[in-house]
Amino acid sequence: MTQPPATAAFLRALSDRGFSGQMRPGRAARVVNATDNSIYYREPACVVEPRSKRDIQAAVTAAAGVGLSLTPRGGGTGTNGQSLAEGVILDTSRFMNHIVSFDTATCVVRVQPGVVLDQLNAYLKPLGFFFPPAVSTGSRATLGGMVATDASGKGSRKLGRTSDYLLSAEVVLADGSIAEISDLAPKADAPPGPFRDVANLLRSALPQYTREIAHVFPVMNRGLTGYNLDEVRGPDGTLHLTKLLAGSEGTLAITTELSLKVAPLPKCTGMAIIGYPDTLTALRAVPGLLDAEPQAIEFLDDMTVKLGKSTPSWPVLKPVLGETLASSGGYLFAEATGQNFEEVDRKLVDIEHAARQGQVYGVIATRDPRTMDALNGLRKDAVGLMGKGKGNLKGTAFVEDAAVPPQNLVAFVSKFRDILDEHQLDYGMYGHADVGCVHVRPLMDMRLPEHRAKIRPISDAVARLAQEQGGLIWGEHGKGVRGEYVEHYFGPALFRLLRQIKTAFDPTNLFNPGKLVTAVDSSLQVAPIDSVPIRGARDQVISAYSAYAKASDCNGNGLCFHWDTAQEMCPSYKVTRDRVQSPKGRAALFRDWLHARETDTQVKDAEVALAQSLETCLSCKACTSQCPVQVDIPTMKAQFLAEAQGHRHGLRDRLIRRMEPLTILAARAPLLANLSLLLGRGVMSEVFKLVDLPSFDRTGLDKRMRIAGSQLLRPGQKLPAHIDKGRAVILLCDSFLGPFDPAVLAAAARVLTRMGFTVLHTPILRNGKALQVRGYLDDFDRTKAQAMTALGRLSATGLPLISLEPAVNMLYRHDFPAHHADQKPVSIDTFLASHKQNLPLGSGMGFQMIGHCTETSADPGNLNRWEIIFAAAGLSLETRRAGCCGMAGLFGHEAEHREMSREIFNLSWAERVAEGQEKLLATGFSCRSQAKRFAGVALQHPVQALDEALHIG
């Protein structure tokens, strides 16, 4: 596709200036960066990903030279279109994400803007420190983005906002120069250039506006951030210029490094859970609770809690709450911190005493870390829960962070409800009660024109209501497209001063134009909320494609950008940090492809961009379970491969189509099969592009199971007469373990026999996983039907069906529907945990274990069950998460993916394997193969460790 002249000139100028980052003018990067966590869609001219401050300097100079705007982008989690623009997007998250230094004596850390909040806190925690502003998107929110919106979060009444911890910032200014923004003493001269103009303006103008600022700025924790006039000038005349930068949303300068204060970690924490009849009663109690000086008070309404009962947190909370508290219509969670437990307990007593002065269902105080983690998890999950919504109605962010003084919460929330009720919308509410910040996401379908038409009247009404109640429509998540309300809140005099500040920094509106304010005398206006294209209008065009409906469900919350490599979702993103190679990115490209098909515009370009992104998808399905709205990329990928004929059916795909039955056949003669693999290695590598294929087990399944005392049972075969149905089980032999690692199945048979069960096993059963992954969906449906028939015949025996291989367990669970729940195969850990009383005692040995990524993400209780099993057997087991091993079925064996497979393994697995060696266990066949391939370590399955330990014991 031919690039527009300005874009082409910009890229040439960048290259001439020695830009070392990534220049991305292609369709994929532009589409993926056209959305954030808001309702808007704005496609940029191109995207650049700098590696250094010099790259940023080059980008600023080049953009200015060709007349393109430049907009910085952090975590991409903005709820108001802050980083959406039609010019150049500058994304620092991919490469500029390093912690530069930390001085424990001064408690100052220096970071690049792409460092993620949780990444910084993980670095600081062993040193006894943390960065206090706590946003719910901390797993992917960058510190540059937090500065841009002056982010806060839970506990901000005591802990403050990001601007309270920003000491200085190195920035690139609109003229291309680099400067350090920090405090400027009363009589100190600013350096020549924009800073001097800004300093002179502020020194002369701010004293004139003292009374105006005091009148306009609300008396509350959440102030009018964005050119924060009430805190820029200190009492002695010192200019706190970082207060100007924080909240400016990239409209003044581009950050390259940040110096931040950090704080000592609180030594002890406790929490009081308070239940009320309804939300308004809960909010009415907040001012009284504040007298007890809690660290934070969070609130959840009944709808949010109802949705929360489907999360992993609820099983932990339900027994703690009991029936009465669990039936509450509104909750407050009041947190207390201290230097010791005695101090925390005293504060909790004060909080409980204050709470019982009101109408409460009950109060429970706890210092249990697991319970508090579950409470915080439920609160953090609220965003995702509301995004999931009901059917086509999704929690929609556009008035989601209004804030008022806490004493006005009841009146504000009551009238806010009236506004939404008038528009006949359901909603959930939650937020930071101690600072009066209310998160509200009405359930709407942005594909409906009548719902899109509600954005303006609801926004206007909430803006008026918030101001009437002494607050703001934007209390936490920044202004973004809502910048049109800035003049309304600040008034004409202060608004002109804001424009003068913008002019001093950026006279040509180079940076993030049309947001907050524009330069004086420029023709550019602040963009109204209904002048920016809404994503739902594009999605409306593609709503007929039900097979790809999950692509439109993606709301941009960005959980797939999780920084931690031990977290399972999306290994291709983790190893590349390329958002095109992420579930959110792929969902955006699916929507773009469908839109192109429907409008008949550049269909081939859209299809190629999507295919290239899907090429690195490992089809691991972690996104299916870990994404708050369950965006299922692998299932849509399979459908795409089935439809887009040009993207499969090469020689390798034809082999894969027949590989499972060929593998099962070859397993009957393993020595001959291994010899064939050895002799045909070159053909497999050169012709089929398959490398490092596993060898067949030389002993073979039949012999190993016979020695283990297990008897073969074919589907449909009658049970032998001597079998006691109450003490017998059937092991399902899958096409991974059966041909290549039957020793695991034999070990399981021995363990089960020692527990008093008679063990039968099946022949190697087909499951069709490879057919599904490669898009041979008709073949997969036929294989699935045959497999379900076989499982039905086996379940007709009345015996439990036990499956060992995690990938197959997940296939049975999610893709193989059963007419009756008892026909579903159970995983080996589920069965062993439910019969743990039958386990004999072992020798007291200790082990470590890494769960299979797909199973661990879809079944969080899996790791805990293995710990219970080992404890019951008199053994110790420490379970750990390590993300994806990088194999994922055939992905790691494909020649073009071998190096990416290794890089994924090196992210987290390599270190875990090096630490654990022979004491480390792994449930997945792929994981054990990968450890042997790249680390030379032969890991055992936990049933093998049990087998050996019980034998020794």
Q: How would residue 34 be classed by pLDDT, with cut points 50, 70 and 90?
A: very high
Name the most confidently modeled range: 132-136, 189-193, 360-364, 513-517. Answer: 513-517
SS (H, E, C) 467-512: HHCCCECECCCCCHHHHHHHHHHHHHHHHHHHHHHHHHHCCCCCEC
pLDDT at 820 over 60: no
C-alpha to C-alpha distances, 286 to 134, 283, 296, 413, nearest whole angstrom: 20, 5, 11, 13
Residues 273-331 have pLDDT tens digits of: 999 999 999 999 999 999 999 999 999 988 888 777 777 677 788 888 888 888 888 99
Tell me the C-alpha distance between 293 and 338, whole Å.
12
Tokens of 349: 């007593």
Helix (H, G, I), strand (E, B) or coil at 566: coil
pLDDT digits (tens, 9 = 90+) for 56-90: 999 999 999 999 999 999 999 999 999 999 999 99
pLDDT > 90 fraction of the chain, expressed in percent and rounded: 77
Rounded mean pLDDT of 96-107? 97
Instruction: Let me know how many helices (H) and strands (E) the chain has, helices first.
Output: 43, 29
The partner residues of 921 in beta bridges, in order of sequence, read 849, 940
> Is the pLDDT at 382 greater than 70, yes or no?
no
Q: How far apart are CA 188 and CA 177, in angstroms?
A: 20
**440-455 pLDDT tens trace:** 999 999 999 999 999 9
Percent of the chain with pLDDT over 70: 98
pLDDT of residue 823: 65
- Tens of pLDDT, residues 111-147: 999 999 999 999 999 999 999 999 988 999 999 999 9
| Band of pLDDT at residue 193, cut at 50, 70 and 90 | confident
Could you write out the DSSP letters of every residue in 156-222? HHHH--GGGTEEEEEEE-TTS-EEEE-EE-TTPPPPTTHHHHHHHHHHHHGGGGHHHHHHHS-SSSS
Res 45: pLDDT:
97
Q: What is the pLDDT of residue 953?
A: 53
Q: How many CB atoms lie within 10 A of CB 685?
A: 14
Q: Contact at 8 Å (CB) between 838 and 756?
A: yes
Range scoring the smallest mean pLDDT among 291-300, 363-372, 374-383, 788-797? 374-383
pLDDT at 223 over 80: no
Q: What is the pLDDT of residue 217?
A: 87
Q: Where are the alpha helices (DSSP H) in 755-897?
A: 769-773, 777-795, 806-815, 828-834, 853-858, 861-872
DSSP label at residue 257: E
pLDDT-derived band at 822 (thresholds 50, 70, 90) equals low
* 593, burial (CB in 10 Å: exposed 0-12, middle 13-18, buried 19+): buried
CB 427 within 8 A of CB 398: no
d(C-alpha 821, C-alpha 218), whole Å:
58
How many angstroms separate the CA atoms of 749 and 713, rounded? Answer: 14
pLDDT score, position 304: 83
pLDDT of residue 387: 74
Average confidence score pLDDT of the chain: 92
- At 890, the amino acid letter reads L
Tell me the mean pLDDT in the region 659-678.
90
pLDDT recorded at residue 154: 87
Buried b (16+ CB within 10 A) or exposed e, 548-565: bebbbbbbbbbbbbbbbb
